[in-house]
């Protein structure tokens, strides 16, 4: 880490938590892909999120924890890899 980066880090760490969080968001945003997501994709994600929230509110449906979702995705990926190798 450069001296300038250390100085910025030291200064950032001295900020109140709310301001540090704001700095983190801005820094993280600066690392994201500069290609904007299409309006259609944004609208589709908003609709999906609303649908899932409605499911939870109306039916008490659960989509599982992050760990469960990750494990499920990893199992599916492994199944696809095995199918590719044997196919």
Task: Please give the average pLDDT of every successive group of 10 residues along the chain, which has 87 residues.
Answer: 91 90 88 75 90 84 82 91 84
| pLDDT at residue 76, rounded to an integer | 92
| pLDDT at residue 7, rounded to an integer | 92
User: In whole angstroms, what is the distance from residue 87 CA to residue 3 CA?
Assistant: 54
| pLDDT at residue 57, rounded to an integer | 83
| pLDDT at residue 11, rounded to an integer | 92
| pLDDT at residue 36, rounded to an integer | 65
Q: What percent of the residues of the chain are helix, what percent strand, and what percent coil, each to the nearest 5?
A: 80, 0, 20
Contact between 57 and 46 under an 8 Å Cβ cutoff? The reply is no
User: In whole angstroms, what is the distance from residue 26 CA to residue 48 CA?
Assistant: 26
State the DSSP string of 49-72: HHHHHHHHHHH------HHHHHHH
For the entire predicted model, the pTM comes to 0.37
């Amino acid at each position: 880490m450069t001296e300038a980066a250390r100085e910025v880090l030291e200064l950032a760490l001295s900020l109140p938590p709310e301001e540090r969080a704001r700095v983190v968001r801005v820094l993280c945003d600066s690392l994201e892909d500069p290609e904007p997501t299409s309006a259609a994709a944004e609208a589709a994600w908003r609709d999906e999120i609303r649908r899932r929230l409605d499911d939870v509110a109306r039916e008490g449906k659960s989509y599982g924890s992050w760990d469960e979702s990750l494990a499920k995705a990893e199992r599916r990926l492994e199944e696809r890899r095995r199918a590719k190798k044997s196919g």
